[in-house]
Structure 1
Amino acid sequence: MDNEALQQWVEQVSLQSFGRPFLHKATFNSRLKATGGRYFMKSHHIEISPHQLMAFGREETEKIIKHELCHYHLHLMKRGYRHRDADFKNLLAHVGGSRYCGTLPERAARKAAPYRYKLVCVKCGMEYMRKRKLDPSKYACGKCRGKLKIIMLDNNPG
């Protein structure tokens, strides 16, 4: 699917679900990985993650489009368009949009990866588990402000 097809899709969903036209630009943004889409308040444009479409299909992506259109229409009507606003929550439930998008499989795999490093405070012995390597000289113990030393764990593949 290209940006033209997405534009038509968003315009169609806007008319069907909201009864209002979408008069701005909708595009795919392949850099969006942690979020399904975003709405820009200054330009009123919408970006959608193509990764969500590939991973979860048209049905879930349409829910993301409805979510972004809730921001769009409420903002233009000068009503509560933020996630915490009652107007937003009510409209989202009414049109059947999603509150959250699914986690992409490659991000889920990274999240489930085992801890590879342990930081140990040399003063009080407090331990901090980490998946990524970091420079312990830039940090201090959160409990006693002591120095930290890094230990690589055995399950480290490299």
Structure 2
Amino acid sequence: MTQQELQQLVEEVSRTYFKKPFRHIATFNRRLKTTGGRYHLHDHSLDFNPRVLELYGKKELIAVIKHELCHYHLHLEGRGYQHKDPDFKKLLKDTGSSRYAPPLTDVLYQVYECQSCGTQIKRRKKINTRKFGCGRCRGKLKWIAEQSLALQKVVD
């Protein structure tokens, strides 16, 4: 998808779901790593991560576009545009927008196993096994491996 096609898609989504025009610039930004999109308060432009389209397809990109347009339209109207604001949460629900972007990077997990009950525990950060024990039986934990939750391409 080109920048021009993205601009047209954002304008179309704005008219369809918000019944309002989008009059600013929408671009792909490859520097975005963990977020699906970004709304700029100073110039009202929108940036989108092209990996959303590559990994999840057009349907998920439209969900991210709707999320960023919620920020855009509420800010221009002088209403609560932040994630914590009730206006923002209500508009997300009304338009069927996604609350969070899908994962865009591989996630590494540390896998531990309880010596007593055999329960496997996954944590993102390493833990001190001398200090912490199993939450189920208070048994001693043993580090097993580091696992990757690899991203897989989803095709429309």
TM-score, L = length of structure 2: 0.70
1:84-121 CA-partner distances (Å, limit 9, x unpaired): 001000001101110001112x423xx23669xx798x
Q: Which gives a bigger RCO, structure 1 or 2 (Cα 8 Å, sep 6+)?
A: 2
1:65-98 CA-partner distances (Å, limit 9, x unpaired): 0000000000000001000001000001101110
Distance in 1 (alpha carbons) for counterparts of 2:17 and 2:67:
11
Return the offset for 1:64: 0.3
Return the offset for 1:60: 0.8
SS of the counterpart of 2:106?
helix
Distance in 2 (alpha carbons) for counterparts of 1:119 and 1:77:
47
SS of the counterpart of 2:17?
helix
Q: Percent identity?
A: 47
Q: Hey, which bits of structure 1, 4+ residues long, moved more than 2 A?
A: 111-115, 153-156
1:11-64 CA-partner distances (Å, limit 9, x unpaired): 000000000000000000111121000000011000000001110111111000
Change (3 A) 1:154 1:12: closer
The answer to which structure has the higher strand fraction is 2
Partner of 1:61: 61
2:28 and 2:49 in contact (8 A); partners too: yes
Tell me how many residue pairs correspond in the alignment. 123
Partner of 1:145: none
SS of the counterpart of 1:93?
helix
SS of the counterpart of 1:112?
strand
Question: Within the alignment, does 1:39 sit opposite 2:39 as a pair?
Answer: yes
The answer to which structure has the higher helix fraction is 1
2:110 and 2:145 in contact (8 A); partners too: no
Partner of 2:5: 5
Return the offset for 1:155: 6.4
Partner of 1:112: 109
> Residue type matched to 1:103 in 2?
P
| Equivalent residues in 2 for 1:106-145, closer than 5 Å | 106-108=105-107, 111-112=108-109
